[in-house]
Every structure is written in C-alpha cells, then in structure tokens.
Chain A
Amino acid sequence: MPDIQIDDYFKNYPDELGHFGPYGGRFVGETLMGAIYELEEAYKQYKNDPNFQAEMDKDLADFVGRPSPIYHAENWTKKLGGAQIYLKREDLNHTGAHKVNNTIGQALLAKRMGKTRIIAETGAGQHGVATATVAARLGMECVVYMGAEDVERQAMNVYRMKLLGAEVVPVQSGSKTLKDALNEALRDWVTNVDDTFYIIGTVAGPHPYPAMVRDFQSVIGREARQQMINTTGKLPDTLVACIGGGSNAIGLFYPFIEDESVAMIGVEGAGHGLQTGQHSAPLSAGTPGVLHGNRTYLIQDTAGQITETHSISAGLDYPGVGPEHAWLKDIGRAQYVTVTDTEALDAFHELTRTEGIIPALETSHALAYVSKLAPTMSADQSILINVSGRGDKDMHTVAAMAGLNF
C-alpha cells in the first residue's frame, strides 16, 4: 500500500497534470486537448472568483434549496439497534438528487466561457434532467446522450428532459447504456468543440473534470460536517455512500479526508452477485486501465476490452469509477464494499416503511450496507449516509419487480 501523509492530502491531490497517484490524467484524442486546457484555465480562474462563487451560492440556495438538512433516522436506528443513523438529504434538492450541485457550477462556467451549447451524457436520467434544467434556465441549447436501453428503462426522465427543451439522443452503439452515452457525447464534443461545453455528470473524464466535479459536489460534505458538529457535537464515525462514477460519494467524503478518525465506505453495485460477473463494481472486482479520459479501475477482460455491467440501478451501471476513488482505495483511506440488487431492493422498502422516505435505488445500496454495519457499532457512535437521490424515478423498476405494471 502506498504510504502517504493524509494531512497533506488536500495540497497534493491531484497533481498539476490531474493525477491521483497513478490514476486520473488526460487520455483523450488530440482534438480535445485544447478544449480541456481551456476548461482548466477557466476553472482555475473562476474557482477563486468571489463573483462566481456568490452567483453559485445564490443558485444553490434559491434554486436548489440548499443547505439540505441532515435527518436523524430514529426509527431505523432503533430497529437496527446500534449506531445512530443520520441521513444527508440530497433527495430534497430541486430535480431530486445531488446531480444539480454540479450542473449549476458547470453551466455557470460555460456561460462565462461564452459557450452557447451544452451537451451531457446520462444513465438513469438524473444528470440529464439536472443539465436540461439549468440549460432551460440559462437559455442554452442542450443535447443529452442516453443509451437506447436506458431510454426505454427511464421513459419518465426522458419526457422530463424533453419538457425542459432538451434534445434526447438515444445511443444505439455498444451496450446501449451509460458508457456508450459517454462515448457519443465525447464524439459530439470533438465535432462541435468551438461552441460546446460538455457537462460531465460524475467525477470521471479527463482532468480537470474529476477535480472540478468533486469541488462542486463537496458542498455536500462541507455542510454535513458542520451540521454533524452542530447536532451531535462531534464528527460522525463513519460515512457511507453509493458509488457509480462516485460523485455523490466524493462530495460527501472529500471535506472529511484529512479527519482521520472518520471512516469512509463506498458501496458498489454487486448486481446479481460478484461471482456471476454481472455487476458494476470496478473497485471491488476490476483492474486498472484507461477509459473515458482517465486511468482508473475498470470492469474489463484480460485483453483490455470493457465488458458489460449490470445493476438494478441505472445510475450505478458503469464499468469505471472516478480516479480519486481508485487512489483512496489504494492508500486505504476509504473502503469499498458491495451490495447486491436484492439487498438494495430490501433496503429501499425498509427505509420507505420505517422513515417515510423513498430513496433512489442507487442510494438504497448505501442503506443496505448500513443495515449490516450499524448493528455492529455502539449507540454512542454515528453513521452519516448520503441520500443521493429520491426514488420517484424508480417506481417503474420497483413495481415491475413486484409484478406490477403501470
């Protein structure tokens, strides 16, 4: 395990070229290199610009509804009989998930860079909806790429994006899911690089995306850290979040990284079970490689071809993961575990019935792990879970599992 000084973490990662140890970097075709340097320059400039920050803070407060509360899930805590469970309520954000924290930031950046057209990829549709939402508000043209299979699975979100004025392009290539939508968005960007801003929805892609998306999502952890201190008088013992690309998890984890007493656990989708090969857990069952602009853990075969993934939750159904998570795993600062489709579904029902909160299926993976973890901890300890999104979008999937059809 690489031996690094955790208390220098913020200063050291990523390095100038966007590396987190061996991970991250900029692996894109030459045509895009100019555009990602232009983006990096703009981001560096506006990151510390008080006017930009003020505009963003105002949008996060008045348009998104931040700060999102933390909620002490007392019924569930009692039922599990262990650690105190707190929920960071990103499900209460406008558009129903954490995704909008990032799209607001990137869209404001796009506007300042003079870009007139926005493109995005989406899996479950949450990032697509959050992008279409900010594009509508800023009066920008918006094109969202979505795997043809996901277009079928998430018809409601497709309609929402269309209502918001976005064009939704079903992607027919490859496995017709999120990774193919990302390929297609990159192809669009390379073709329309002069006027187009690509809003990537997770902490993946070439540098500066993983660091930039992390910074925009870190509002989650900054708020939560203060809220936990205010409410409980101390830091939480353990943070838990689900991981697809990893943006909600890094958003929660990042402000706590140098607090070494706080354990951080990312929960990947084990799908039908890791041993079946049908999962979406690159950190737990993958190997390092290069995809979509960065080096990270991937689900791939021995010849380096990306293989098909599976998860009940479209938002986790991705063969890669943000490069910073790969590094946090290697240095042992965060732990990564998995939960199957069935366990996630059970947790979905559990939280719904115990606390009156219907979580997204992605979030349900984090909940399922907590239902195993909490009883092993004591009542004076606490777990903070990022409730990354609400479950409205998953009604069809959950109903279909119960044999119902709307």
Chain B
Amino acid sequence: MSRIKECFKNLQADGQTALIPYVTAGDPEPWVTVPLLHALVDAGADIIELGVPFSDPMSDGPVIQKACERALKNDVTLDSILDMVKQFREKNNHTPIVLMGYANPLEAMGYEKFAKKAQAVGVDGVLTVDMPPEESDEFLRLMDVNDIDTIFLVAPTTSAQRMQKIAQYAKGFIYYVSIKGVTGAAALEINEVTAKLEEIRKYTSLPVGVGFGIRDGRSAAAVAEVADAVVVGSTLVRCIEEHSNRPQELPAAVASLLAEMRHAINARDLASVSA
C-alpha cells in the first residue's frame, strides 16, 4: 500500500482530518529544508507538500513567487530536492512526501528519469499544477510504473464532466482549490466548498483535500468539518519569509504556526467524534 493511502486509512480509522503543510524546497536556504520538514511532522503534519521552485510560477501569488526566487537564488534544483527527500527519509519512513510544482523542471530532467529517482529516494506523490489530464498520458504511465501517486487539482470552475475525468486519473488524493485565484489570495467561502466537495465525492472514493485560502486555526477547523485533508501553504511561507534572515529560528516558528492549526483541527475532530 502506498504511504499516502496508508496515511489516510489510519487517519480515517481514528476519525481524524489530515493536515498537509506546503513549503518551498530550499527556501530561504537549502540546509533549512530537512530540519523544517522534521519540525513540521513533530507539529502534526500528516503529509508534506514540498514545493519545487520554478522561475515562472504562474498559478502562485506573491508569497510563493518570492519563495521560489529565494530558493532559486541558492541554485536549488530538482536533483538537489530529491537529495533533500533522501536525507529526510533517513529519519522518517512514514510521512508521505508529495512534490508540487510546474511541468518544466520535470520535463528538463525527463519524466522517466524523474520517476525512477523519485521512487528511489522515497517520494510518494507528485502534483504538477500546469499539467492537466489532457497532457498527462505519458507522464501518468511513467509515474504509475514507478509507484508515484499523481495528484490532480479540481477547481471551482471544473465541470462535472471534467471531474469525472480527473477522478479517473487521480491517485492518492484529490486537491480541491477552494478559490478562483492564485495561492494566498483570498479567504475561502465554506458553504461553496461544502457544496463542491459533495459533487466531487460523487465521482471518487479518494480522499479530498482542500487548499488555497486557509490562514489560521479557525479556517483550518472549518475546512476540516467537510474535507479529508487541510492544505496550508502561503501562511507558512509568509512566516518563512519573515524569518529568512534568522533561519536558525525558522523551523520552530513555522512549526508553532502549524501546531496551532493542528490543535484547532483536533478539537473539531474530537467534537465531531463525541457528537
């Protein structure tokens, strides 16, 4: 069983919602990433989305754009990110890692070479924001034979017909983008999210995570009410930015922010179990 599948199975058995933090690999400095990932796990992360920086992140808002710029200034590459995952796995063999980013760095390495290396170092899934199912045939085949889950996005603008198609292609979980916009842009509308998740679940039995627009314990708990996983990115990356000139303090600071969300989600999960 894949690490992602096992993770959701265990959480669901306990009536818990998954918490998925996103951080950009190599931001603000490459050495910070592995200790940061361990700190996130200690603070309650169930799965980690590790961002692969790209020079032209067209689906991201200014917070993650700047994170990409900081990482690229340090010459972070897909190769060096795979090394980070390898290092992380020396101490952690259970937390799933999903690489999230854009198609071009994967194209540059070559899909096959990437899939083999990723599997070898312990990557569990990949989410390529600018590669819709229409362009994915070869990519999906290669990820599949190397046991890498392919995670796809569903957006507020996704039609029922497309949802069905995406559900066929998706593995691991489905990531619902809660707002029309870029990462970190606006607050989500929980009623709209609830309605859309109901629709998505008509087409898939995979867990559904929600991201974009989750900023604090309160919004995390509200999303946990309806989703199988809560994804939080820009809020953490903003904290990384604030600590970029004192990176030693950074893992603890980001972890405490995540812990606050973990507590809020746990309180909600507990209330719903006892209710």
Residues of A within 8 A of B (CB): 17, 25-35, 173-174, 179-180, 182-183, 186-187, 190-194, 288-293, 295, 298, 300, 302-307
Contacts and interface: CB of A to CB of B under 8 A. Distances in A.
Contact of B158 (A30, A194, A291): A30
B78 A303 contact: yes
Which of A17, A32, A35, A303 has the largest count of B CB atoms less than 10 A from its CB? Answer: A303
Contacts of B135: 17, 25-27
A320 to B, nearest CB: 10
17 contacts: A26-B135, A30-B154, A31-B155, A31-B156, A33-B155, A33-B162, A34-B155, A34-B162, A174-B69, A182-B58, A187-B181, A292-B58, A303-B108, A304-B106, A304-B109, A305-B72, A306-B56
A174 B182 contact: no
A187 B129 CA distance: 13
A29 B104 contact: no
A293 B129 CA distance: 11
Contacts, number: 128
B162 A303 contact: no
B152 interface: yes
Interface stretch (B59-67, B88-96, B188-196, B225-233): B59-67
Given A27-B103, A35-B157, 8 more contacts: A25-B134, A30-B177, A31-B177, A187-B58, A190-B59, A289-B108, A290-B107, A303-B108
A179 B57 CA distance: 11
B32 interface: no
A303 B182 contact: no
Contact of B157 (A193, A289, A292, A295): A193
A298 B104 CA distance: 10
A187 B134 CA distance: 21
B236 to A, nearest CB: 20
A293 B102 CA distance: 11
Nearest to A320: B56
B113 interface: no
Interface of B: 54-62, 65, 69, 72, 77-79, 102-109, 129-132, 134-135, 152-159, 162, 166, 177, 180-182, 185
Which of B158, B162, B180 has the largest count of A CB atoms less than 10 A from its CB? Answer: B180
Which of A194, A289, A290 has the largest count of B CB atoms less than 10 A from its CB? Answer: A290
A114 to B, nearest CB: 16
A117 B132 CA distance: 26
B59 A174 contact: no
Nearest 3 Cβ contacts at the A-B interface = A304-B108, A304-B105, A31-B155
B174 to A, nearest CB: 11
Contacts of A190: 59, 180-182
Contacts of A186: 58-59
A185 B106 CA distance: 24
Contacts of A293: 130
Contacts of A300: 104, 108
A187 B181 CA distance: 7
A57 to B, nearest CB: 34
B108 to A, nearest CB: 3
A306 B157 CA distance: 29
A25 B130 CA distance: 11
Contact of B79 (A32, A289, A303): A303
A303 B105 contact: yes
A291 B56 contact: yes
A27 B135 CA distance: 7
Contacts of B69: 173-174
A169 to B, nearest CB: 13
B119 to A, nearest CB: 20
B104 A30 contact: no
B62 A27 contact: no
Contact of A33 (B79, B158, B181): B158
Given A174-B56, A193-B157, A289-B107, A27 B131 contact: yes
Contacts of A33: 132, 155, 157-158, 162
Given A191-B182, A303-B78, A305-B54, A28 B108 contact: no
